[in-house]
Amino acid sequence: MNYLSIEKSAELKSYLKKFDGKGQHVIALDIEAESNLHVYGEKLCLTQIFDGRNSVIIDPFKIDIDTLKLLFENTNILKVMYDAGSDLSLLKNTAGIEIKSILDLRPAVELLDYEKKDLHSVIAFELGITLEKKRKFQQYNWIKRPVSEQAIEYAVNDVLHLLVLKDVILAKLYAHKLFEPFFLMNLQIQNRDYTRDPEDKYRKISGYSRLRKDKKPVFRRVFDIRDKYAKQFNMPPHNVIRKSDLISIVQDPECIDRIQFIKRISTDVIPEILNELRKATKIA
């Protein structure tokens, strides 16, 4: 697959300068990220662009935030995306980046009431192009370098057809007199404050809301212990203690002695973790 690879700040600045010099103003945009699947925390791992002529893969690991903002926060570049909310949230909360001038096609798909609303199904329905299903890459480790060519092909395919799809979908919106609600929904997406409340990290754990009031502070202490060691070991928190075990520990502290730890956690550290959990749940 032919694509332009950008790995340095100077290369991205040069691309954007050339893009502007050609009088272009529309790109298809998507990102790939790590979200507590292989390591601790969230991280932008890849940015893919199709500008109508070139497929572009941007590796952000060696590009400074201010240079990335020249792309994402450039109000003179219309960024055609699909279901942009999670990308907006991730960039805002991990890098302080706000994506500007977005045309998100997902609201149009909702308004037009497609039977299947995922991007690949919509592309297949409207353009007759069948793409490899995303589930193959749902567990892909986008942090590892080099990124496999198969993964890059998948990433590029997610933007390669967006500009043509845009034209098809906008025509349908116009035919159904749905332009105004579509543009309103896009404005609402862009005007939303994506800053997350740090407290949501534990409040959104399944089962937390059903805990008794006196158990919720205990849950917070247990949750913070798990987060501390996940950060220390640079591993997903659920690899330290499973989500279901968090609730079990709070409801019945005797469950602490039945926790099964993965091999990556040193046997020297396990007694330390167990001792902290017992203190957090007030078990001697």
The string of pLDDT tens digits covering residues 62-119 is: 999 999 999 999 999 999 999 999 999 999 999 999 999 999 999 999 999 999 999 9
Residue recorded with tokens 């098809």: 168
> Taking the C-alpha atoms of 182, 188, 191 and 197 in order, what is their torsion angle to the nearest 10 degrees?
-140
Q: Determine what percent of the chain is predicted with pLDDT higher than 70.
A: 99
200, pLDDT greater than 70: yes
- Average pLDDT value for residue range 46-75: 98
Q: Which two tokens stand for residue 170?
A: 């906008």
Whole-number pLDDT of residue 284: 44
CATH class held by domain 4-191: alpha beta
- Please say whether the beta carbons of 33 and 48 come within 8 A: no
- What's this model's pTM, rounded to 2 decimal places? 0.92
Whole-number pLDDT of residue 134: 67
Fold of 200-280: DNA polymerase; domain 1 (1.10.150)
Whole-number pLDDT of residue 283: 57
The string of pLDDT tens digits covering residues 24-45 is: 999 999 999 999 999 999 999 9
Domain boundaries, the chain: 4-191, 200-280
What is the chain's mean pLDDT, rounded? Answer: 95
Q: Which segments of 96-214 does DSSP mark as H helices, in order? A: 106-112, 119-127, 149-160, 162-175, 179-191, 200-203
